[in-house]
């Protein structure tokens, strides 16, 4: 609860930064605030779980673990995005939107009531809609924000219909009351329809096929730092909420909804990976890559296995997000230097900037799931959990899809190291960007060697 208070206070303070004339000192204040939020979140780890607001929020070990992960990702993202947003006169507004969206993200991983799930999703989504359209001079950014808003509002309707039906059956929004009602009452038809409607709404938020059509255009049109935020913090919160809902409420009906989600996962893995192969833009390729990784994460929900699934999702989302921030940071600097976002812009990068080349290669290897990077163990724990629940066929299909994914990740590596350089103009890397790239690359390798550093959080 202290985490939400700190983040809310930090967001309000950020709104007044322009009026109180400390805009230049805002960035270190935000980093200190996030560090304080992480500290107080961690301090609650060894205490008894405390329900808040009539048990609408429950900060148990699961919520604390995902909140810590979200704060870490946000901290790294602010370091990555600082220079971009401080060029804008409305930087304080942008930073405030991001901080308030973090309030929604933390609510999404700590809710114990469907009302708080809806509020958390909307707080996060409304901020993301505005951020996607924040580059007002770019028509693609305007289109991205408009499309995200329309499609997001439509998906929210499905979510609300699902919540309504579940409430009609159970007479409560409380997750544990819903679970007990489903276990003791025989209304499987109405419950199943409600679950499927909830599934549609959450699959949209997680960008799973066939509810993914918004993602490539929104990711491509939004400013690169905003795309990085949506692909990391938003996706982590979405899967945290997804897992929490189905793990607590619907374990007794897993045989019905898991079959539907099984096909969604298969479609996501193959459509996203095959489409990514066909892309010429690295940014759009990373958008389809994000959709594919959503498919791998959804395997852990299909193969629901208690805390083991929670640990797998936590580890995967954190390590994937760290590598994604690395990739988007390099993409942002390359695009700023060359004005291009295609694979050709990366050709010969090893000769002009060996540091950027190395960190980009580590990020690509991690996203592809190549050992000893953290991305390998992310897939390993997802697949291990699926095999333990007798989903071996799904794992085999996921491995084939992952092999397809290796192709487009290695396209970047080949362009960086084995293609002649397109520009002799060196790319300058500022101290802050160099720091964040060093941290994310170190974490990618370190968490690959010592995965228990994260797995022990749950």
| Pair 285, 424 in one domain | yes
Burial 48-71 (b: 16+ CB within 10 A, else e): eeeeeeeebbbbbebbbbbbbbbb
Q: Which domain holds residue 110?
A: 1-154+223-244
CA nearest to 4, candidates 163, 149, 119? 119
CA nearest to 132, candidates 147, 117, 111, 154? 147
- Assigned token pair, 228: 């990085």
pLDDT at res. 425:
66
| Pair 145, 292 in one domain | no
| Pair 337, 365 in one domain | yes
Residue 305 contacts residue 388 (beta carbons within 8 Å): yes
- Is the alpha carbon torsion for 16, 21, 27, 31 positive or negative? negative
Based on the structure, what is the number of domains in the chain? 2
| Pair 137, 239 in one domain | yes
CA distances (Å), origin 4, targets 40, 104, 109, 179: 10, 9, 12, 27
- Is the alpha carbon torsion for 180, 185, 186, 188 positive or negative? negative
Residue 378 contacts residue 249 (beta carbons within 8 Å): no
Cis geometry, peptide bond prior to residue 131 (ω within 30 degrees of 0)? no
Using CA atoms of 134, 136, 286, 344 in order, give the dihedral in degrees to the nearest 10. Answer: -140
pLDDT at res. 123:
93
| Pair 256, 146 in one domain | no
CA nearest to 15, candidates 96, 120, 116, 109? 96
Distance of CA 130 to the CA centre of its chain: 18
Q: Is residue 61 part of a domain?
A: yes
Cα–Cα distance measured from residue 183 to residue 197, given in angstroms and rounded to the nearest whole number:
20
- Assigned token pair, 147: 């499309």
Residue 238 contacts residue 164 (beta carbons within 8 Å): no
| Pair 264, 135 in one domain | no
Count other C-beta atoms under 10 Å from residue 387's C-beta.
14
Q: Going residue by residue through the chain (458 aa), what tens digit of pLDDT does each one get?
A: 788 899 998 888 888 877 777 767 788 889 999 999 999 888 877 676 667 777 788 888 888 999 999 999 999 999 998 888 776 656 778 888 999 999 999 999 999 999 999 999 999 999 999 999 888 878 888 888 898 998 888 889 999 999 999 998 888 898 989 988 888 876 678 888 999 999 999 999 899 988 888 889 999 888 999 999 999 999 999 999 999 999 998 888 888 889 999 999 999 999 999 999 998 889 999 999 999 999 999 999 999 888 889 999 999 999 999 999 999 999 999 888 877 888 888 888 888 888 999 999 999 999 999 988 999 999 999 999 999 998 999 999 999 999 999 999 999 999 888 877 766 667 778 888 899 999 999 999 999 999 888 888 87
Residue 457 contacts residue 240 (beta carbons within 8 Å): no
| Pair 231, 293 in one domain | no
Cis geometry, peptide bond prior to residue 372 (ω within 30 degrees of 0)? yes
Q: Is residue 46 part of a domain?
A: yes
Is residue 60 helix, strand or coil?
coil
- Residue 264 parent element (H or E): helix 254-277
Is residue 20 helix, strand or coil?
coil
| Pair 259, 354 in one domain | yes
User: Mutual orientation of helices 114-132 and 91-110 as an angle, nearest 10°?
Assistant: 150
First to last CA, the chain: 18
CA distances (Å), origin 138, targets 108, 132, 134, 135: 31, 11, 9, 6
| Pair 65, 83 in one domain | yes
pLDDT at res. 90:
67
| Pair 361, 264 in one domain | yes
Is residue 355 helix, strand or coil?
helix
Query: Which of 211, 244, 277 delimits the end of a domain?
Result: 244
Distance of CA 361 to the CA centre of its chain: 21
pLDDT at res. 88:
60
Q: Is residue 188 part of a domain?
A: no
pLDDT at res. 43:
82
Residue with tokens 């958390």: 120
Cα–Cα distance measured from residue 46 to residue 454, given in angstroms and rounded to the nearest whole number:
16
Residue 258 contacts residue 305 (beta carbons within 8 Å): no
Query: Which of 244, 276, 300 delimits the end of a domain?
Result: 244
Q: Is residue 230 part of a domain?
A: yes
Cα–Cα distance measured from residue 415 to residue 125, given in angstroms and rounded to the nearest whole number:
36
Cα–Cα distance measured from residue 354 to residue 361, given in angstroms and rounded to the nearest whole number:
11
- Give the chain's length: 458
**Single pTM value for the model:** 0.93
| Pair 302, 236 in one domain | no
- Assigned token pair, 312: 């797998």
| Pair 53, 86 in one domain | yes
pLDDT at res. 183:
80
Query: Which of 212, 244, 276 delimits the end of a domain?
Result: 244
- Assigned token pair, 220: 């491509």
Is residue 192 helix, strand or coil?
helix
Residue 244 contacts residue 111 (beta carbons within 8 Å): yes
DSSP H helices, 44-113, are 61-86, 91-110
- Within 13 A of 237's CA, how many CA atoms are on the CB side? 32
Q: Is residue 189 part of a domain?
A: no
Is residue 129 helix, strand or coil?
helix
């Amino acid at each position: 609860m202290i985490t939400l208070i700190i983040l809310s206070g930090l967001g309000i303070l950020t709104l007044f930064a322009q009026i109180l004339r400390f805009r230049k000192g805002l960035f270190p204040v935000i980093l200190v605030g996030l560090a304080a939020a992480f500290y107080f979140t961690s301090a609650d780890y060894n205490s008894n779980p405390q329900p808040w607001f009539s048990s609408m929020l429950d900060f148990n070990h699961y919520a604390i673990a995902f909140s810590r992960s979200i704060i870490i990702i946000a901290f790294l993202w602010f370091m990555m995005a600082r220079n971009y947003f401080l060029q804008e006169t409305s930087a304080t507004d942008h930073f405030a939107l991001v901080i308030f969206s973090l309030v929604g993200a933390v609510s999404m991983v700590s809710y114990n009531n469907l009302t708080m799930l809806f509020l958390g999703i909307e707080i996060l989504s409304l901020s993301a809609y505005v951020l996607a359209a924040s580059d007002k001079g770019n028509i693609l950014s305007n289109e991205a924000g408009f499309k995200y808003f329309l499609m997001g509002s439509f998906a929210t309707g499905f979510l609300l219909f699902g919540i309504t039906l579940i409430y009609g059956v159970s007479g409560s929004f409380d997750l544990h009351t819903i679970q007990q009602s489903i276990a003791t009452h025989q209304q499987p038809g109405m419950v199943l329809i409600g679950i499927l409607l909830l599934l549609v709404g959450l699959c949209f938020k997680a960008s799973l096929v066939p509810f993914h059509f918004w993602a490539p255009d929104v990711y491509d049109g939004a400013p690169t730092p905003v795309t990085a935020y949506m692909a990391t913090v938003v996706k982590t919160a979405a899967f945290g909420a997804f897992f929490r809902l189905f793990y607590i409420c619907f374990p007794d009906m897993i045989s019905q909804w898991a079959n539907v989600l099984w096909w969604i996962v298969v479609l996501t893995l193959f459509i996203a990976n095959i489409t990514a192969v066909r892309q010429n833009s690295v940014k759009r390729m990373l958008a389809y890559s994000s959709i594919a990784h959503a498919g791998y994460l959804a395997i852990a929900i299909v193969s629901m296995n208690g805390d083991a699934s929670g640990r797998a999702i936590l580890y995967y989302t954190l390590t994937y997000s760290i590598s994604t921030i690395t990739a988007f940071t390099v993409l942002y600097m390359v695009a700023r230097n060359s004005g291009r976002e295609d694979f050709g812009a990366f050709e010969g990068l090893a000769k002009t900037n060996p540091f950027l080349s190395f960190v980009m290669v580590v990020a690509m290897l991690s996203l592809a799931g190549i050992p000893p990077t953290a991305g390998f163990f992310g897939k390993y724990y997802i697949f291990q959990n699926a095999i333990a629940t007798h989903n071996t066929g799904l794992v085999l299909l996921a491995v084939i899809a992952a092999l397809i994914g290796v192709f487009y990740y290695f396209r970047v590596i080949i362009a960086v190291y084995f293609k002649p350089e397109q520009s002799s103009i060196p790319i300058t890397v500022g101290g802050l960007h160099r720091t964040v790239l060093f941290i994310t690359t170190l974490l990618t390798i370190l968490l690959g060697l010592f995965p228990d550093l994260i797995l022990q959080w749950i």
